[in-house]
């Protein structure tokens, strides 16, 4: 059975409170009792010393004792809640605060010199039926001890005072414990309830409901950040799911069209619909459709390699020379549309450090697109220039341009700028996706600026050439 984190927290909180209360009770009980005992003993001893000093002169006069000493010790006895005795050196009780004057009672075993402490606890040599806190102060006459002042306080007084203080401590602890429930409330509001919402959201996502949103608004702490992150994740997963559906639909469309054409042409040849003298024409169409499938397959394999962080074979090479070679390779197509290239190089040689084959593919795709969407009798501008420790390459055409609403989508796989699947029916819609993946694999960026009916310009950056341990400059 799954145990709730909240119940664990409450259980831990109660255990902590119980252990804390027991610890405070045990420690404070002993410490408070010892403290009050010492304080009471010190207070009684100080009073005994003061009385001894006051009564020294009248100690030998019976009349003075009865007239002045007894009323004073009676009053002091009431004030201290104690019994006060005046003893001689042998332990005979001469006077006590209860009014027993000059009794001949002698305390058996009386020996004040046997104790090193200023106080004692017990029945004071069998004089009381309960435990007492007793102190003795000597009465000195002519530099000798003539007697003692003894003060006896019932130990219950100390215990009662201890209990009163402990009651205050216990009540204070209980109040603090109750007030600390605010921490539990804060935990419930700020952690437990948001965590329950996040848990439910995670379960919804696990069940495939990516449209669910965790309802945590205007929360700026870690819980809010986690909820917003999960909401963002679900949104991205939803987009990815839509993209996968679109991807499958596009792949199916792009594969089905040439396959349908191939199947149709071959069936027409087999059933005699196409006469033998037309075989050559339609077989060339079959080959063209096959090449289209091959190109589509190669593009998908290239993207899969890049998605898997394919290895880049970086070398130093001259990007200007590569631009010239790619332009020369497209001269035949350009002559058909009477399109010219205008090349502008900041330096005669511009060395970069990149994967030669993949950057060549980037240029082929960008220049092929520029030719494809350029009007006849137009010019394509290609420039290279170093800037900010990078080498920038731009390919600009003066064709139809890209609609504003399509600028962010042109990098998507299989995306084409019109519903008729593009001006070039043989296009796969993978060219720009491959271009971006290659540039990003190099840790660089590619941007596009386009205006409808004016043209488009694609600009990407490459790292400049660097000195290698062994010279690996491409042999061009």
Tell whether 200 is covered by a domain.
no
Lowest-pLDDT range of 113-117, 301-305, 373-377, 467-471? 467-471
How open is the CA angle 276-281-284, to the nearest 5 degrees? 120
Position 92 scores a pLDDT of 83
Any idea what DSSP says for residue 106? B
Tell whether 41 is covered by a domain.
yes
| Whether residues 325 and 452 fall in one domain | yes
Tell whether 191 is covered by a domain.
no
**Averaged pLDDT for residues 445-459:** 89
Element holding 112 (H helix, E strand): none
Rank 80-94, 225-239, 346-360, 399-413 by mean pLDDT and report only the highest: 346-360
| Whether residues 342 and 257 fall in one domain | no
> Which residues face 387 on adjacent strands?
390
Tell whether 199 is covered by a domain.
no
Torsion of CA 264, 269, 271, 275, to 10 degrees: 130
Give 243's pLDDT tier (boundaries 50, 70, 90): low
* Domain of residue 441, CATH code: 3.30.565.10
- CA–CA dist 255, 9 (Å, integer): 59
**Tokens 């020379």, located at residue:** 321
Rank 114-128, 298-312, 333-347 by mean pLDDT and report only the highest: 333-347
- Tokens found for residue 46: 């100080």
Tell whether 172 is covered by a domain.
yes
- CA–CA dist 418, 459 (Å, integer): 23
Q: How far is CA 100 from CA 95, 106, 210, in A?
A: 6, 13, 97
- CA–CA dist 178, 441 (Å, integer): 60
* Domain of residue 45, CATH code: 3.30.450.20
Position 467 scores a pLDDT of 58
Position 116 scores a pLDDT of 62
Tell whether 158 is covered by a domain.
yes
**Tokens 């491959």, located at residue:** 434
Pick the last residue of a domain from 123, 146, 178: 178
Q: How far is CA 123 from CA 87, 120, 160, in A?
A: 16, 9, 19
Which residue, among 111, 120, 65, has the nearest Cα to 90 in the 3D structure?
111
Task: Report yes or no on whether pTM surpasses 0.75.
Answer: no
Residues whose CB is less than 8 angstroms from the CB of residue 446 and which lie 6 or more positions away in sequence, other chains included: 435, 436, 439, 440, 458, 459, 460, 461
> Is the pLDDT reported for residue 58 higher than 80?
no
Pick the last residue of a domain from 259, 287, 305: 305
Position 384 scores a pLDDT of 94
Cβ–Cβ < 8 Å for 384, 318: no
- CA–CA dist 213, 234 (Å, integer): 8
> Is the pLDDT reported for residue 471 higher than 60?
no
- CA–CA dist 189, 167 (Å, integer): 34
Q: Residue 392: give the domain boundaries.
A: 311-462
Element holding 315 (H helix, E strand): strand 314-318
Pick the last residue of a domain from 266, 281, 305: 305
Position 419 scores a pLDDT of 40
**Tokens 């590619």, located at residue:** 446
| Whether residues 55 and 20 fall in one domain | yes
Cβ–Cβ < 8 Å for 274, 282: yes
Any idea what DSSP says for residue 287? H
- Tokens found for residue 378: 């137009």
pLDDT tens digits, 92-106? 887 788 766 545 578
Tell whether 185 is covered by a domain.
no
- CA–CA dist 283, 266 (Å, integer): 8
Per-residue b/e over 82-107, b at no fewer than 16 CB within 10 Å?
bbbbbbbeebbbbbbbeeeeeeeeeb
φ/ψ of 355, rounded to 5, equals: -80, 115
Q: How many CB atoms lie within 10 A of CB 408?
A: 10
Cβ–Cβ < 8 Å for 158, 141: no
Q: How far is CA 424 from CA 399, 418, 427, 428, in A?
A: 14, 11, 6, 9
> Is the pLDDT reported for residue 254 higher than 80?
no
- CA–CA dist 438, 460 (Å, integer): 11
Position 343 scores a pLDDT of 93
- The distance in angstroms from the start CA to the end CA of the chain is 70
Cβ–Cβ < 8 Å for 173, 24: yes
Q: How far is CA 453 from CA 277, 401, 448, 449, in A?
A: 44, 5, 15, 13
Position 462 scores a pLDDT of 93
C-alpha count within 13 angstroms, C-beta hemisphere, residue 183: 11
> Which residues face 384 on adjacent strands?
345, 393
Position 321 scores a pLDDT of 94
**Averaged pLDDT for residues 134-157:** 86
| Whether residues 23 and 145 fall in one domain | yes
Give 393's pLDDT tier (boundaries 50, 70, 90): very high
* Domain of residue 262, CATH code: 1.10.287.130
Position 476 scores a pLDDT of 43
| Whether residues 410 and 293 fall in one domain | no
| Whether residues 26 and 166 fall in one domain | yes
| Whether residues 287 and 324 fall in one domain | no
Tell whether 216 is covered by a domain.
no
Number of domains forming the structure of the chain: 3
pLDDT tens digits, 8-29? 778 888 888 888 888 877 888 8
Percent of the chain with pLDDT over 90: 13
| Whether residues 133 and 258 fall in one domain | no
| Whether residues 230 and 264 fall in one domain | yes
pLDDT tens digits, 299-330? 666 666 655 455 678 899 999 999 999 888 88
| Whether residues 57 and 146 fall in one domain | yes
Cβ–Cβ < 8 Å for 10, 187: no
pLDDT tens digits, 405-420? 777 777 776 666 554 3
> Is the pLDDT reported for residue 298 higher than 60?
yes
Q: What is the CA radius of gyration of the chain?
A: 52
Residues whose CB is less than 8 angstroms from the CB of residue 455 and which lie 6 or more positions away in sequence, other chains included: 374, 396, 397, 398, 399, 400, 401
Q: Check residues 467 and 25 and name the one with the higher pLDDT.
A: 25
**Averaged pLDDT for residues 54-63:** 60
| Whether residues 343 and 276 fall in one domain | no
> Is the pLDDT reported for residue 217 higher than 80?
no
- Tokens found for residue 288: 């063209």
| Whether residues 294 and 321 fall in one domain | no
């Amino acid at each position: 059975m799954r145990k709730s984190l909240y119940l664990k927290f409450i259980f831990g909180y109660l255990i902590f409170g119980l252990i804390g209360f027991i610890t405070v009770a045990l420690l404070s009980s002993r410490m408070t009792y010892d403290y009050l005992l010492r304080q009471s003993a010190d207070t009684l001893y100080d009073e005994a010393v003061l009385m001894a000093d006051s009564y020294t002169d009248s100690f030998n006069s019976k009349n003075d004792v009865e007239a002045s000493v007894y009323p004073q010790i009676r009053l002091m006895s009431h004030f201290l809640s104690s019994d006060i005795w005046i003893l001689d050196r042998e332990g005979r009780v001469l006077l006590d605060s209860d009014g027993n004057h000059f009794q001949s009672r002698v305390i058996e075993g009386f020996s004040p010199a046997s104790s090193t402490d200023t106080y004692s606890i017990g029945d004071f040599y069998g004089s009381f039926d309960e435990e007492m806190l007793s102190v003795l102060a000597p009465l000195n006459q002519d530099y000798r001890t003539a007697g003692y002042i003894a003060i006896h306080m019932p130990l219950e007084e100390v215990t009662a005072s201890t209990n009163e203080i402990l009651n205050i401590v216990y009540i204070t602890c209980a109040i603090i414990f109750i007030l600390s429930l605010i921490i539990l409330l804060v935990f419930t509001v700020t952690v437990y309830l948001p965590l329950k919402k996040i848990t439910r959201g995670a379960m919804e996502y696990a069940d495939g409901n990516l449209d669910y949103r965790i309802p945590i608004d205007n929360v700026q702490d870690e819980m809010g950040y986690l909820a917003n992150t999960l909401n963002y994740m679900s949104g991205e997963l939803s987009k990815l799911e839509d993209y996968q559906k679109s991807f499958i639909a596009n792949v199916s469309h792009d594969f089905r069209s040439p396959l349908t054409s191939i199947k149709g042409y071959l069936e027409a040849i087999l059933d005699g619909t196409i006469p033998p003298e037309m075989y050559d024409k339609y077989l060339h169409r079959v080959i063209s459709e096959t090449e289209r499938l091959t190109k589509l397959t190669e593009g998908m394999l290239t993207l899969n390699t890049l998605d898997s962080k394919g290895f880049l074979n970086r070398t130093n090479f001259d990007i200007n020379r590569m631009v010239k070679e790619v332009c020369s390779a497209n001269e035949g197509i350009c002559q058909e549309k009477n399109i010219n290239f205008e090349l502008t190089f900041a330096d005669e040689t511009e060395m970069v450090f990149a994967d030669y084959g993949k950057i060549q593919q980037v240029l082929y795709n960008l220049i092929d697109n520029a030719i494809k969407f350029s009007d006849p009798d137009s010019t394509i501008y290609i420039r290279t220039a170093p800037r900010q420790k990078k080498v920038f390459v731009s390919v600009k055409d003066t064709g139809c341009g890209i609609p504003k609403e399509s600028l962010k989508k042109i990098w998507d796989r299989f995306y084409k700028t019109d519903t008729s699947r593009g001006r070039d029916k043989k296009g796969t819609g993978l060219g720009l996706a491959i271009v971006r993946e290659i540039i990003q694999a190099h840790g660089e960026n590619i941007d596009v600026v386009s205006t409808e009916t004016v043209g488009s310009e694609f600009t990407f950056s490459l790292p400049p050439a660097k000195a290698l341990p062994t010279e690996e400059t491409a042999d061009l």
